[in-house]
């Protein structure tokens, strides 16, 4: 669905240099701090910026030369951009009807009703949660093969985030070939939805791993300085200085559980991984 090879994009104070792939039928997450390069990557995938180097293939085409047909197969939700705030859902339906040949009006209207989105109110009077739900609904209502979602859950409370993620799960259930690339800085959203995750930092991919592997094999060791000096460090990916000693990230949790039964080994989760990998010394 998406294949990025050595994508390069240089700005005055930021450079992006990544490779990434989203196979058919998978949900891939892009996680990183604000300003890490997630939105730049998504803009390049959508053909909104011109890469300085490398190649991007989305649904078999170069995004800078997308045809209308190519774009019809894409469902897009951007965190900071959408339909004019002057429009209402009723009016947006008229636009979508003329924009996407496969726009499923019935589904869209049903979902709007289910999510409690008012039909006649202008978008400027919508809450943050309503706007976010509408953006995702627009993306999933025209039988797109690939969804590209930039921070779709940003600014939402836990309940609204779960409702939005459920909408995405329902979209995936319709067809095994459908794929999603979703960026977020909220790790729990990605853990529950994605098949694999790319961690991006300062324009580089720091880690790419299956979510199951992260949750199953990765762990956090919490050890004092003396113990740290004694243990086998070959399976430690990163470490962070703490008041008690070190927090260490490993991708071989079982090795330390088997060989060092006295060490505290916590299960891996994205938040801890980010803390250690991005904030570690």
Partner 1 sequence: MNGLLEKDILILIKQKKLFIIYIASAIMLSFAMDSTFVVSYFTMIGSLLVLTTISYDTFDNGMPFLMSLPVSGKTYAQEKFLFSLIGLFVSWGTGVVVHFITILLQQKEFDLLDLLGMDIAFVPFFLIIISVMIPINLKYGADKGRIVLLVICGLVVGTAFLGKKIFMDLLKDTDRIELEYFLAKLSSLPKYAVLIACFVIAFVIFFIAMKISSGIMSKKEY
User: Interface with partner 1 by CB under 8 A: which residues?
Assistant: 43, 46-50, 66-69, 71-72, 74, 76, 78, 80-87, 91, 94-96, 98-100, 148
User: By C-beta, is 148 or 194 nearer to partner 1?
Assistant: 148
User: By C-beta, is 54 or 280 nearer to partner 1?
Assistant: 54
Question: Residue 182 CB, nearest distance to partner 1 (Å)?
Answer: 15
Question: Residue 74 CB, nearest distance to partner 1 (Å)?
Answer: 7
Question: Residue 6 CB, nearest distance to partner 1 (Å)?
Answer: 19
User: By C-beta, is 101 or 216 nearer to partner 1?
Assistant: 101
CA distance 70 to 78: 18
Question: Residue 184 CB, nearest distance to partner 1 (Å)?
Answer: 18
Looking up tokens 């709007």, which residue turns up? 112
User: By C-beta, is 88 or 217 nearer to partner 1?
Assistant: 88
Looking up tokens 């961690």, which residue turns up? 199
Question: Residue 99 CB, nearest distance to partner 1 (Å)?
Answer: 3
User: By C-beta, is 72 or 191 nearer to partner 1?
Assistant: 72
């Amino acid at each position: 669905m998406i294949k990025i090879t050595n994508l390069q994009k240089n700005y005055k104070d930021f450079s992006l240099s990544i490779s990434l792939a989203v196979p058919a039928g998978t949900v891939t997450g892009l996680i990183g701090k604000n300003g890490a390069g997630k939105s730049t990557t998504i803009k390049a995938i959508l053909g909104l910026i011109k890469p300085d180097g490398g190649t991007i293939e989305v649904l078999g085409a170069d995004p800078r030369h997308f045809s209308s047909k190519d774009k019809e197969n894409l469902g897009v939700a951007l965190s900071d951009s959408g339909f004019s705030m002057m429009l209402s859902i009723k009016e947006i339906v008229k636009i979508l009807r003329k924009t996407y040949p496969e726009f499923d009006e019935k589904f869209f209207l049903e979902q709007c009703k289910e999510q409690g989105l008012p039909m006649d109110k202008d978008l400027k009077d919508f809450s943050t949660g309503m706007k976010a739900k509408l953006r995702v609904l627009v993306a999933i209502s025209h039988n797109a093969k690939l969804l590209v979602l930039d921070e779709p859950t940003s600014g939402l409370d836990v309940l609204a985030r779960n409702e939005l993620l459920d909408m995405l799960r329902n979209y995936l259930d319709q067809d095994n070939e459908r794929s999603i690339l979703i960026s977020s800085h909220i790790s729990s959203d990605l853990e529950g939805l994605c098949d694999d995750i790319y961690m991006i930092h300062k324009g580089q991919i720091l880690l790419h791993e299956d979510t199951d592997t992260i949750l199953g094999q990765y762990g956090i060791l919490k050890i004092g300085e003396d113990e740290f000096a004694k243990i086998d460090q070959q399976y430690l990916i990163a470490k962070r200085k703490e008041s008690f000693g070190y927090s260490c990230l490993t991708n071989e949790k079982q090795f330390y559980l088997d060989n060092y039964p006295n060490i505290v080994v916590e299960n891996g989760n994205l938040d801890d991984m980010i803390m250690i990998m991005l904030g570690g010394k």
